[in-house]
Amino acid sequence: MMPRKYIRKKPERTYTAEDLQNAVADVATNNLTYRQASALYGVPVSNIFNRIKGRQIPEGKLGSGRKYMAEDGRIIPENYGARPSISPVYKITGAPTAEIVEVPAAQMDEVPAVHTVEIRPATPSAPIHCLRSVHGASLSTGGSKMDACNLKTENVVPAEPSKCTWHKEADPTNSPHTKKPLRPLKKIHANALETVGRTPIIRLNKIPQSYGIKCEVLVKCEYFNPGGSVKDRIAVRMIDDAEALGKIKPGATIIEPSSGNTGIGLAMVCAIKGYKCVVVMPEKMSQEKVDTLEALGAKVVRTPTDQGSYSRNSTFLVSHKLQEETPNSIILNQYKNASNPLAHYDTTAAEIYEQCDGKIDMVVGGSGTGGTISGIARRMKEINPSCKIVCVDPVGSILARPDTLNVNRGQFWEVEGIGYDFVPTTLDRSVIDEWIKISDQESMPMAKRLVREEGLLCGGSSGAHVAAAMKAAAKLEAGQRCVIILPDSIRNYLSKFVSDAWMEVRHLQPCVNSMNYWWWENKVSKLTLDPPISILGSVSCRKTLNLLRKLGINEIPVCEENGKFLGIAMLAELFNKFMARKIKPDTHISNALRTKFIKIKPDATLGVVSKALHIDGFVVLMEDNEEGEEQFAGLITIGDLLQYIM
């Protein structure tokens, strides 16, 4: 029998005390995972883990022991056989590198979750060797196989509690973060990035007066930033800080889950600095954001709107999958990146304080990632403790406190950029004095009022902030001052709340019969519609195309065998997906559907239908079944309406 040969798995690595300190700091502040910090600084995962737990690690030594791989594919620890109760033998396929982290069994719950792997039982007093994939290998233990690239959603959604130790009595000289002072104003700037920040504060006049508000109401116009939103601040700060730490290398690809504005800010920075940019964004977000991102050279990946943050198709999981597939890439992760609230602590809050000469009684803002309101609030608690911080949360979101405010959890909301179905790491709810829930029926009309009455070309979330501020500021007296954050520009919403038809179809403003049409108030039920024709989602794209041409129509509903409505198959959608190489002729049509469309009920008026047909060439008619669930009832086209009214 031939003697078994053993191959050295990894060369010895050395590192400095500074490398270890930087690795520990990045992991402790949630900037990097254990694996990422190990790869960046050359420090073994086990040494980072032990140092965070307060254990002494010999400098420059490989703390987890040497590793060997047998030719038959087994991983053999150096001390294999010393403790027969451990069973530390694992089979590995498809990976050039693997790592065994030795952790006492009693502390297995504290092991950083990079990839979940089945672990063989060990005695309570003996260490367990936990095998973790470094390059996404397929691992198996005891005959059970799993794909290490299948990221666990709970390890990807940035909802873990923050490890930040800030408190308002903290000594700023002991902060682990870099501090950036306000930049002086220049006459000529080197590039667009130097114009980020120093946004104006403007007094509101007509709107507060209409509510009988006694105090002075000011707005911080963040849409004056070059990228059009408050998120330009964190885009610059996150990339600057990552560059300073050596996390971004030349030619890197920045990948970011975003509702659009942070993506635009990052794309702008990447365009100037020469990085590639990929933004993962829900389909709910406006087409204007997509067009702006693509104009800046970014690649846009859309995810389904109806997928929650913890679903496999969420922006977070898709972003991490893309990072696994993209060499030299990084997710800056605004939802847990300390540079997010720091950007507002150092600049936004300082600007407000300077512009108001320190006289601020209330600040009102919203929460998406929570970085803006948390950074501003922390600074205000230090320099102006009496200032009240009010945070806005849309109905349907779960961020507000107390939790009893969060009625209608999971209900869809139109306003973009605020509200979530999880609490982001960067949101510090302890510094919020009051939460106010705001509906679309309040925020969208207010956004239009800001444009028409105050001349402020801002976005929908600005309307939510001002609507909430009118409630909160009613408690302030004459001589006091309220400052409201206006996060972004009207540019992103020209096809949304700026459009009267868009607002009317969603019942966010009255649908006015300005032309006195005789049929305007008649109900949809008055129309004579053909019986709905639909196809199954398993039909191929080629057969769907042939059917559409044969019937002489441009769209057809698609349902499951049980009758569940899936979406609309359209010629335009087939063309776009085929040209983008997302489908093939034999692909199931369920993979090429349009799922964003206007839905109405039988009691809707034909006036509303006419407005909807101005936006789209068809409207989906839905009705409630006996169980109260929505079900597909038919399509209404321009031809159907014309046939009735002519």
3-class DSSP assignment, residue 366:
strand
Burial of 638 (0-12, 13-18, 19+ CB in 10 A): middle
CB atoms within 10 A of CB 453: 15
What residues have CB less than 8 Å from 505, skipping those under 6 apart?
Answer: 511, 598, 600, 608, 611, 612, 615
The closest alpha carbon to 449, from 471, 437, 465, 472, belongs to 465
Residue burial 181-192, b: 16+ Cβ < 10 Å; e: rest: eeeeeeeeeeeb
- Token pair of 213, please? 């508000």
CB atoms within 10 A of CB 535: 18
Q: Spot the catalytic one: 231, 289, 381, 448.
A: 231
127/354 Cα distance (integer angstroms)? 56
556/569 Cα distance (integer angstroms)? 5
376/373 Cα distance (integer angstroms)? 5
336/160 Cα distance (integer angstroms)? 9
Residue burial 576-605, b: 16+ Cβ < 10 Å; e: rest: ebbeeeebeeebbbbebbbeebbebeeebb
Q: Give helix 571-579 / helix 541-551 axis angle, nearest 10°.
A: 140
Instruction: Give the distance, in angstroms, between the CA of residue 1 and the centroid of all CA atoms in the same chain.
Output: 58
What residues have CB less than 8 Å from 569, skipping those under 6 apart?
Answer: 535, 544, 548, 555, 556, 557, 558, 589, 592, 593, 594
Rg (the chain; Cα; Å): 28
Cα first-last separation, the chain: 93
The closest alpha carbon to 145, from 190, 91, 107, belongs to 91
Active site residue 448: no
18/532 Cα distance (integer angstroms)? 69
- Token pair of 520, please? 């305007």
Dihedral pair phi/psi, residue 99, rounded to 5°: -145, 140
Please list the residues that pair with 614 across neighbouring strands: none
624/503 Cα distance (integer angstroms)? 24
The closest alpha carbon to 147, from 93, 108, 201, belongs to 93
617/637 Cα distance (integer angstroms)? 6
- Token pair of 170, please? 């903290």
Please list the residues that pair with 32 across neighbouring strands: none
Asked if residue 111 lies in contact with residue 129, where contact means CB atoms within 8 angstroms, the answer is: no
- What is the edge-to-edge ordering of all strands in the sheet holding 201-203? 201-203, 216-221, 481-486, 362-366, 388-394, 434-438
Dihedral pair phi/psi, residue 331, rounded to 5°: -100, 115
CB atoms within 10 A of CB 251: 10
Residues recognised as catalytic:
231
